Homo-oligomer: A and B are copies of this chain.
Amino acid sequence: MKNIQVINSVKVRRIEMGHLTQGDLAKVVGVTRQTMNLIEAQKYNPTIKVCLLIAAALETSIDQLFWMEDEE
């Protein structure tokens, strides 16, 4: 697959939301805390389903949360 870098602002947005922990967000989305941790650390390439659920939980859109940067 084409080699791009996907960046997200999930952690920033989650903290903007106020008292919302990784665990809280994970629970709402229905993934584990570890999975949410790896997504926030940009170490996973999550599925669109998870992204849609995260965007809903953070009251924003996928386009606001995820974008791509050309590899190098």
Contacts and interface: CB of A to CB of B under 8 A. Distances in A.
Copies in the complex: 2
Interface residues of A, number: 23
Contacts of A66: 48, 52, 62
Name the prevailing secondary structure of the A interface residues: mixed
Nearest to A66: B48
Contact of A45 (B29, B49, B56): B49
Interface string A1-24: 110101000000000000000000
Contact of A1 (B1, B4, B6, B31): B31
Interface of A: 1-2, 4, 6, 29-31, 45-53, 56, 61-63, 66-68
